[in-house]
Amino acid sequence: MTFRFGPLFAKTVLCLAILAAGPAAASAQQWDFLKGSYWSVPQENLLAYAVSPKLPAPLPSQDQTVYHVTDYHNGFFWGSNVTSINGNVTCATLLGSVTPDGRVLLSFVSTASDGTTSQQVGYGQMTMSDGAWTMLNQTAAPNFAHWAYMVQSKPGDASWKSLPGVRQSVPQFLGQCGGS
């Protein structure tokens, strides 16, 4: 998959740089393990809600999202993001920052077939649970909201072989967008 970066992406990078700057940035090395990692939504956090003026109430939905963090440097990480909401797949470039105390800011930029780009923002916190880091994230789009304790997925894990809600392996799921 080829990613094109435009003015929206440049503004996002600038905002993330401002948020991550400061004297505490040097201790951001504690998050080096993010490089090369994969993150997915566990079964218990698949529930999300969609809303529309045509609906009498928010509609319960299922959201499986996988981040492939390809690189990390000094509080910034980037890679790809694939999301399946009720079976509708979206492919995006992921750019994030994590502060030394674990606050996370995420930006997802997707490009439609006509070349137009859209951005979604998420917020989170790195949280230790059962001896492993989770990424407690919240994201919202104009008609959708979701939060999840995203967990690392590694080869050999049950989630690597069969992601909750989609019954695909991590490589198969990411492969829908040309990534792995």
CA 26 to each of CA 76, 145, 177: distance values in angstroms, whole numbers, following the listed order = 12, 33, 34
Dihedral angle at the C-alpha atoms of 118, 6, 100, 104, nearest 10 degrees?
Answer: 0
Predicted pLDDT of residue 142: 82
Predicted pLDDT of residue 9: 46
Break the chain into its structural domains and give their ranges: 28-175
Is the entire prediction scored with pTM above 0.85? no
Dist CA 151 CA 155 (whole Å): 13
Q: For 2-46, write each residue's pLDDT tens digit.
A: 445 555 544 444 444 444 444 444 466 799 999 999 999 999 999
Tokens of 44: 């218990």
pLDDT (average), residues 103-112: 92
Q: Which CATH number fits domain 28-175: 3.30.70, 2.40.128, 3.30.870, 2.60.120?
A: 2.40.128
CA 117 to each of CA 19, 70, 93, 107, 123: distance values in angstroms, whole numbers, following the listed order = 23, 21, 11, 12, 20
Dist CA 41 CA 47 (whole Å): 10
